[in-house]
Copies of this chain bind each other. A is one copy, B any other.
Amino acid sequence: MDEGGLIRQLRGRITDPPGVLGIGDDCCVWTPGGPSCLSVDTVVEGRHFLTSDDPAAIGRKAAGAALSDLAAMGARPVGAVVALSCPGHWPAMTIMEGLIRELERHGCPLLGGDTTASSELTISVTVWGERVAGRFLTRAGGRTGDLLVVTGPLGGSFASKRHLRPEPRLQEGQWLAGQPYVHAMMDISDGLAADVRSLATASGCGFLLLPGEVPVHDDVPAMSDTARAACCEGEDFELLLAVDAEHWPNVQLAWPFPKPLSRIGWLLQNPAEVLMEDRNGQVVPFLWQGFAHRS
């Protein structure tokens, strides 16, 4: 890969926002508008995509997965930088074009990066954002009795290749951060089974999950164990919430987006109570696991 040539192409492709110094210096420079949040997300060849996948789609996925972390806080994107480690046989600019288009679709300028040759294609995208609703929503605010809620259907992301076309729920996340009765939020990237544990742990709670209530994505084959697919597969990029039970009807009524919110369980007081309702309506220990990328 010719790093100088790639950087020249990128500078020709991109216009910096007013008042911002973008690609080409030792750092990018901008003036934050207030409290800020930042995340980095990496995709690696053979783990998060296949060598046979479309290069532009891989770039799109890298950007979308990173933006999903901003959605999870209720943040508005401000900027992104990318670290591209790229073997010579991959088309670096095609990957970057897919990445830039996904950022642009969400109003997020690419402001810098670093490119290096490597044996394995690895893309790390750092994104930062600012508050829209006066606060960031963390995983840690859930309370005993809060309802567990998801923003859309889950499962089948890998088999259908939907994982290459993430739809970061930025608008939804920003709206939810403005609802005082939404207490905690995160994105569902490791599979609901793993992520519900993370939210409950961060909130100091246990939980009861109702797998029969989890909305199943059309991508999940009807003949399979659909509830398990919805709970245990990864990279759905929907949002998981803890919502005050008393005000749940108000949140549902006010929700302005087409896909309905779904209530899928409750937070429990005792962090050791990690439970699910089985097909017979019996409460049993929750032993299902999320998705772990091959390691």
B75 & A295 in contact (Cβ 8 Å cutoff): no
A72 & B26 in contact (Cβ 8 Å cutoff): yes
A139 to B28, CA, bound (A): 12
How many A residues touch the partner, as a band? 35 or more
Residues of chain B lying within 8 A (CB to CB) of residue A46: 119
Q: Is A202 an interface residue (CB 8 A)?
A: yes
Residues of chain B lying within 8 A (CB to CB) of residue A171: none
Count of this chain's copies in the oligomeric assembly? 2
B32 & A37 in contact (Cβ 8 Å cutoff): no
Of the listed stretches A96-104, A121-129, A207-215, name the one at the interface; the rest are far from the partner chain. Answer: A121-129
Q: Is A265 an interface residue (CB 8 A)?
A: no
Q: Is A233 an interface residue (CB 8 A)?
A: no
A28 to B69, CA, bound (A): 10
A interface residues, Cβ below 8 angstroms from B: 1, 21, 24-32, 34-42, 44, 46-48, 69-70, 72-73, 75, 79, 81-83, 85, 88, 111-114, 116-120, 122, 124, 126, 128-129, 136, 138-140, 186-187, 202, 293-295
Interchain Cβ contacts under 8 Å between A and B, 14 examples: A21-B136, A21-B138, A26-B69, A26-B138, A26-B139, A27-B136, A29-B37, A30-B35, A32-B36, A40-B82, A40-B124, A42-B114, A114-B124, A126-B126
